[in-house]
Amino acid sequence: MPTTTPARRPGGRSAKVRDAVYTAVGQLMGEGKADRITIPLVANRAGVNPTSIYRRWGDLDTLLEEVAVAALTKDGDELPDTGSLRGDLSAWARIVVDDITQPRRTRYLRAMTSARDEVHTCPCWEQRRTQAKVMLDRARARGERAPTERQVLDHVIAPMYHHVVFGLSVDREYADQLVHDVLAMA
């Protein structure tokens, strides 16, 4: 008799554990306990066994980075496709600024950066890079001049995150100005 492995269900227990752990991390960050987070503390708050967290994420940094990406980006949202690079970047920058200025996202971003001695990159950097690349590739295919991915990240995304972390003013008008500036580099 042949043996088969049962197919994994989308969702199910694994998704419940992930959601409970994400929620626990978010709560702990929101309570200002970012510098005291441990896997046992997260597990206790999530109502799961610490071994479940170690098995899935391995260590605290990996867990925090995954949660940060989930908290600071909108997975699955379609990128703007307005027909012009200026339109795409402006719409995207506004989506990002609207998202990261939500109070819970702002608290999480500040807590995440204060939890580490040194932050080399934002955990969502690669996702933002991928998004920028898609828009820039489309623009080049249309024959538009375009800045580099790095210019978009360094001159549009990074300043918005910087402003949020340090409590400086950031809004759609600021996002539009950043897009205007980076397009002048192309």
**179 vs 24 pLDDT, higher one:** 179
Do residue 116 and residue 54 come from a single domain? no
Q: What is the DSSP letter of 80?
A: P
Q: How many domains does the chain have?
A: 2
- Domain membership flag for residue 79: no
CATH number assigned to the domain comprising residue 50 = 1.10.10.60
pLDDT at 145: 96
Which residue type occupies 6?
P
- Kindly state whether residue 78 falls inside one of the protein's structural domains: no
Task: Flag whether pLDDT at 73 surpasses 80.
Answer: no
Q: Are 100 and 164 in contact (CB under 8 A)?
A: yes
CA quadruple 7, 10, 15, 16: dihedral positive or negative?
negative
Same domain, 20 and 61: yes
Mean pLDDT of 62-67: 82
Q: Which domain range does residue 51 map to?
A: 12-72
Closest CA to 89 of 123, 127, 121, 134: 134
Same domain, 90 and 179: yes
Listed ranges 5-19, 29-43, 119-133; the one with the highest mean pLDDT:
29-43
User: Do 23 and 61 have their domain in common?
Assistant: yes
The string of pLDDT tens digits covering residues 134-149 is 999 999 999 999 999 9
The answer to whether position 124 is within a domain reads: yes
Q: Interior CA angle at 122 toward 29 and 159, to 5°?
A: 105
30 in the same domain as 90: no
Cα separation, 107 vs 114, whole angstroms: 11
The model's pTM is 0.71
Beta-carbon-side half-sphere exposure of residue 4 (alpha carbons within 13 Å): 3
Contacts of 180 (CB under 8 A, 6+ apart): none
